Structure 1
């Protein structure tokens, strides 16, 4: 058995209209049909080589998303989606024009990557990144893979 590729990610959301507006209008993803046999609400989106499945959460007593503003040093270590973009600066301007709250960035990561973090309307943490102009990614020495069952 071999895993071929990651097909989609799923997020829990509280408001489908707000979700559709953010992911289609602000970020430019294409909304696509979802299986008609599902008994729960949701909306599906397609990007270049991936899908995002937003599932309606009916319990409104708690926030749907899990990203929290003000993570400081932990930015990027939380559960999040990461999207590569062509121009982080242009995206930042677009997000601000649409009232999106920037959580962190744009900032240099230190390896030729520029990052920007936002929360979607349900608080899901999203990273956008690009390769800084003229940068080349350094070759990192990777830690050895541990044997199964090894500490």
Structure 2
């Protein structure tokens, strides 16, 4: 979108994500006991079942599915799937705790310029992906608008003709 500079909508922060659940109770238990979210009061005027939780600076709004029996169940942990990511202090402690809780996870390690990021991926009760990482190891470097456009073109060219980056 041409002319989109900075913060055109004047956004201040992420407020919440909403997730449709087979069981609001089961998902509330998961987000509370596994990820440390705290249940908070939800407006009583809603005429559908759900729960609000808050933690780590964001809210999670759980919505009861109208047809829980027909919700697809993801069983394969795919790090390239939609997910929410949380920063942690100790990857080893997270891995140990997930093992104690009997939660299956997939581990990945990413290297960028000699800096390593560890990631653990696992599902909530409905198959929504959760990532725990030490991503703050990689500095956030904003790209100028012209660079973003050229990177997009380079990525597209690489995909179409599979030319290594070093040759571009």
**Match for residue 124 of structure 1?**
128
Q: Count the aligned residue pairs.
A: 137
Equivalent of 2:25 in 10, 13, 17: 17
Contact 1:13 1:64 in 2 (8 A): no
Deviation of the 1:32 alpha carbon: 0.8
**Match for residue 103 of structure 2?**
100
Q: TM-score, normalised by structure 1?
A: 0.77
Separation in 2, partners of 1:57, 1:109: 36
**Match for residue 71 of structure 2?**
63
Please, what is the CA RMSD of the aligned residues? 2.5
Post-superposition Cα deviations, 1:45-71, rounded to whole Å, max 9, x if no partner, equal 111211111111020232266x55143
Instruction: In structure 1, list runs of 5 or more residues that go unmatched.
Output: 147-151
Q: TM-score, normalised by structure 2?
A: 0.70
Counterparts in 2 of 1:140 and 1:117: CA distance versus 1, 3 Å: same
Deviation of the 1:96 alpha carbon: 2.0
Bigger fraction of residues in helix: 2
Contact 1:14 1:64 in 2 (8 A): no
